[in-house]
Amino acid sequence: MTQNNNDKPTVASSTVTRDLREFDIATDNAYESLVIISKRANQIAANVKEELHAKLAEFATANDNLEEIFENREQIEISKFYEKMPKPTLVAIDEFLHDKVYFRNPAKEQQA
């Protein structure tokens, strides 16, 4: 994780080798942690996809011609911004490792 000028934490944009033992600290089970991370990654991906579609919907017209499709700089910039964003899986891993994800396991709660 790196810091940008706004002192807001950002996630690395590439995959990092991780110690598997870091994942089972919160749950005592690495596999359960991976399920939590994958579900969070799916939530993040769905939110980003919805946000991107909403922004790109502003550019949709009933009758597009080829010139408008290839010359729309704002649409290209929006797409480039979303392409440069860290992958949802990396964001979810970072959130999990920094205790920013709320999760619970009802089966474990019933056993206790």
pLDDT in tens, the chain (112 residues): 333 444 445 677 677 788 888 998 989 999 999 999 999 999 999 999 999 988 888 776 656 565 555 567 888 888 889 888 889 999 999 999 999 999 888 887 787 6
Q: Confirm whether 77 is domain-assigned.
A: yes
Residue 2 falls inside a structural domain: no
Number of domains comprising the chain? 1
Rg (CA), the chain: 19
Residue 36 lies in a domain: yes
Three-class SS state of 9: strand
Residue 29 falls inside a structural domain: yes
User: What is residue 40's predicted lDDT score, i.e. its pLDDT?
Assistant: 96
Range of the structural domain that residue 54 is part of? 25-103
User: Is residue 15 assigned to a domain?
Assistant: no
Cα separation of 95 and 65, whole Å?
Answer: 43
User: Domain for residue 6, yes or no?
Assistant: no
Q: What is the pTM of this model?
A: 0.75
- Residue 68 domain-assigned? yes
pLDDT value at position 77?
87
